[in-house]
């Protein structure tokens, strides 16, 4: 791994934001990324004001299996006989993806509205705590505890990462979850797309300049894939 990549992993361990651009051939977006276990109200505020996209939390497949977070598209499909409009909304025409990573939305039960910086930080950090604990316990406990601690719908969007990280899908969900694994952290990342003032995604050149101005690490998706597939991080 390059010194720049190793610095990005260390930044994540220290709770700092890292910028990740996916690909010129995919969404062409740069996301602010932080380890979910390190999220604070200040991080949420920075993402809300400096990035401006949707604040989401990724879910590694090992966590998904234990907690049981479904794909939202699968929920819509399973209840379409009762709600026919949902069958008409099938996301089968996404130009850069075969299946959306979106799962359910949640709030922690100790939140009020769930949307404030404090509330979202609480939901995210408590989800990370549950995710970490669930990896060492049986599935039944994790599902019950998930329901005990959280309610849905809410204001934190969960994204399910594919089981074969960075093989069949190379989206921000997989890229950033893989970063958490390589950094040796709970495998859930909190991410937010960076928006421009022209109504579009922030061009990667401007995102890179933002990283330089603010002393942040900047990675291309190809950097993450290369490091992941090399296996150097696991040695």
Asked about 108 being catalytic, the answer comes back as no
- Cβ atoms 39, 128 nearer than 8 A: yes
Active site residue: 4, 96, 139, 214, which one? 96
Q: Which candidate, 104, 114, 222, places its Cα nearest to that of 160?
A: 104
Q: E strands, 67-196, where? A: 102-108, 150-160, 189-193
Asked about 31 being catalytic, the answer comes back as yes
Phi then psi for residue 70, to 5 deg, are -85, 165
Asked about 218 being catalytic, the answer comes back as no
- Please give the Cα distance from 222 to 230 (Å, whole number): 12
Q: How many CB atoms lie within 10 A of CB 76?
A: 17
Asked about 10 being catalytic, the answer comes back as no
Asked about 25 being catalytic, the answer comes back as no
- Please give the Cα distance from 25 to 199 (Å, whole number): 20
Active site residue: 56, 108, 117, 119, which one? 56
- Cβ atoms 24, 167 nearer than 8 A: no
Asked about 107 being catalytic, the answer comes back as yes
Active site residue: 11, 22, 29, 31, which one? 31
Q: E strands, the chain, where? A: 18-21, 30-35, 56-59, 102-108, 150-160, 189-193, 217-220
Active site residue: 37, 126, 174, 193, which one? 193
Active site residue: 29, 60, 107, 220, which one? 107
Active site residue: 62, 118, 155, 206, which one? 155
Which sequence positions are flagged as catalytic?
31, 56, 96, 107, 155, 193
């Amino acid at each position: 791994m390059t010194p720049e990549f190793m610095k990005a992993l260390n930044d994540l361990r220290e709770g700092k934001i890292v910028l990740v651009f996916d690909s010129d051939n995919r969404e062409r977006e740069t996301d602010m990324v932080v380890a979910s276990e390190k999220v604070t109200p200040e991080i949420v505020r920075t993402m809300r004001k400096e990035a401006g996209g949707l604040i989401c939390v990724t879910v590694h497949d090992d966590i998904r299996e234990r907690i049981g977070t479904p794909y939202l598209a699968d929920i819509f499909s399973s209840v379409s006989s009762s709600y026919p409009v949902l069958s008409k909304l099938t996301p089968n025409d996404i130009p850069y993806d075969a299946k959306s990573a979106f799962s359910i939305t949640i709030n922690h039960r100790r939140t009020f509205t769930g949307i404030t910086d404090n509330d979202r930080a609480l939901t995210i950090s408590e989800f990370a705590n549950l995710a970490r604990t669930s990896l060492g316990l049986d599935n039944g406990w994790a599902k019950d505890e998930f329901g005990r601690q959280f309610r849905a719908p809410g204001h934190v969007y969960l994204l399910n990462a594919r089981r074969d990280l960075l093989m069949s899908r190379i989206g921000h969900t997989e890229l950033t979850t893989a970063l958490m694994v390589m950094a040796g952290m709970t495998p859930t990342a909190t991410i937010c797309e960076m928006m421009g003032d022209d109504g579009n995604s922030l061009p990667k050149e401007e995102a890179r300049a933002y990283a330089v101005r603010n002393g942040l690490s900047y990675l291309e998706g190809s950097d993450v894939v290369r490091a992941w597939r090399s296996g150097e991080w696991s040695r």
